Amino acid sequence: MNFQDYAIATIGSHTALQILKGAKQEGFKTICVCQRGRERVYESYKVADEIILFDDLKAEYDEIEKQLIEKNAIMIPHGTFVSVLGHEKVSETKAMYYGSKDILEWESDRTMERKWLKDAGLKLPKIFENHKDIDRPVIIKFHGAHGGKGYFIANTPAEFEERIKDYEGDDDYVIQEYIVGVPLYAHYFYSPVNDELEIMSFDKRYESNADSIGRIAAKDQIEVGIQTSYTITGNIPLVVRESLLPYFFELGDGVVDASRKITPKGLFGSFCLEGIVDTNLNYYVFEISARIVAGTNPFINGSPYTDLRYDEPMSTGRRIARDIKEGIEQNKLDLIID
Ligand code: ATP
């Protein structure tokens, strides 16, 4: 089959603009599966050849999926797709899916994720199983707390006990060492079609109110009783010092190699390491996203790194479409479709 016989589909949210735009740049038909009322964005930016509307994605997904199969569409998952459907439902989807479904379980289970990242040779912040052992700054993260809202910091067991009172009944949290340094998100792309790992871009997040607390004096912060939160509002592009690049390539290789030991196909496509660089340039990774992340959105027209490698604007969305196109042309689609 010719690649033009396929369509590329995604859910209208998160990174859909660049996924659809990138697919069009590569010559694919595009389908935006969009919540009713949100279609204006995808119409305005003219990225979707077709829009399929829904009111409740989870309830209507089986029906929508039939249409996707009829249209020979490949679904590109992103954060919204996985968080709305849940990884179990995603594993059961039948339309062509770009990415490894097996990896979703590893990514969504904290213990499994940690094992994978440790096997990959990454440095991870320490986890405190018992709050009585807190002997350094820690960040308390609630599972499912969207975008870091409600996270809090403690320095001692007593401080923890005092602050956790506000969250009575919610015991789904992790106590993690707070790494003092700068947040940095590294966006990778690994293609099994050409067996190559690329660094696409880096970003840092713009979080409310963590990114503006420094705008008022410490004295006022205390008097007003500000509680830090990490509500994501946007992404800021970054370049890293060039001497860090070999290290970042090694980290990416480690993650891909380790993923092959945990699932047959391993990790491929777009993925992101999320962590903090301390003053000794150690990178502590607190999370991996095994798919396209919103931090790649500033680079719809390419990043400084993709500019070095490609003679044309190459977003992560477009890189995904290119991978699919090459997979079709080289008869290797089975490597990248689950
Ligand atoms: P997700 O990426 O799943 O949406 P989230 O936004 O809920 O996750 P995290 O990304 O884990 O939460 O953390 C939110 C923010 O808290 C980070 O961007 C970072 O600024 C800060 N942070 C998280 N973990 C640490 C840590 N161990 N040390 C220092 N800062 C941290």
Report which protein residue has its CA nearest ligand 1's atom 6. 147
In degrees rounded to 5, what are phi and psi of residue 324?
Answer: -65, -45
Report which protein residue has its CA nearest ligand 1's atom 27. 178
Residues with CB under 6 A from ligand 1: 125, 139, 141, 145, 147-148, 176-179, 183, 205, 207, 230, 232, 274, 276, 286-287
Cα-to-centroid distance, 197 and ligand 1 (Å): 25
Pocket test for ligand 1, best of 110, 141, 143, 277 (most atoms within 8 A of CB): 141
The model's pLDDT over 241-281, given as tens digits with 9 standing for 90+, comes to: 999 999 999 999 999 999 999 999 999 999 999 999 999 99
Provide the 3-class DSSP secondary structure of residue 280. Answer: coil
In degrees rounded to 5, what are phi and psi of residue 196?
Answer: -140, 140
Give the separation between CA 23 and CA 48, rounded to whole angstroms. Answer: 10
Confidence bin at 169 (pLDDT 50/70/90): confident
Confidence bin at 147 (pLDDT 50/70/90): low
The model's pLDDT over 291-334, given as tens digits with 9 standing for 90+, comes to: 999 999 999 999 999 999 999 999 999 999 999 999 999 999 99
DSSP 279: T
Asked if 136 and 155 count as a contact pair (C-beta separation under 8 A), the reply is yes
More confident call, 9 vs 147: 9
Atom number, ligand 1, closest to the C-alpha of residue 232: 6
Atom number, ligand 1, closest to the C-alpha of residue 125: 27
Confidence bin at 229 (pLDDT 50/70/90): confident
Residue 145 has pLDDT above 60, yes or no: no
Report which protein residue has its CA nearest ligand 1's atom 2. 147
Question: What are the extents of the domains in the chain?
Answer: 3-97, 108-124+181-206+235-329, 127-177
Residue 166 has pLDDT above 70, yes or no: yes
Cα-to-centroid distance, 15 and ligand 1 (Å): 19
The model's pLDDT over 179-228, given as tens digits with 9 standing for 90+, comes to: 999 999 999 999 999 999 999 999 999 999 999 999 999 999 999 888 88
Catalogue the E-assigned strands of the chain: 7-11, 29-35, 50-54, 73-75, 96-97, 127-128, 138-142, 152-154, 173-177, 182-191, 196-209, 230-238, 269-277, 283-289
In degrees rounded to 5, what are phi and psi of residue 288?
Answer: -120, 140
Q: What's the pTM value of the predicted model, to 2 decimals?
A: 0.95
What's the pLDDT score for residue 108?
87
What CATH number has the domain spanning 3-97?
A: 3.40.50.20
- For all residues of the chain together, what is the average pLDDT? 95
Tokens of 304: 């400084």
What's the pLDDT score for residue 148?
66
Report which protein residue has its CA nearest ligand 1's atom 9. 148
CATH superfamily of 108-124+181-206+235-329: ATP-grasp fold, B domain (3.30.470.20)
Atom number, ligand 1, closest to the C-alpha of residue 179: 28
**Domain with residues 127-177, CATH architecture:** 2-Layer Sandwich (3.30)
Pocket test for ligand 1, best of 128, 279, 287 (most atoms within 8 A of CB): 287
Residue 19 has pLDDT above 60, yes or no: yes
Q: Tally Cβ neighbours within 10 Å of residue 264.
A: 7
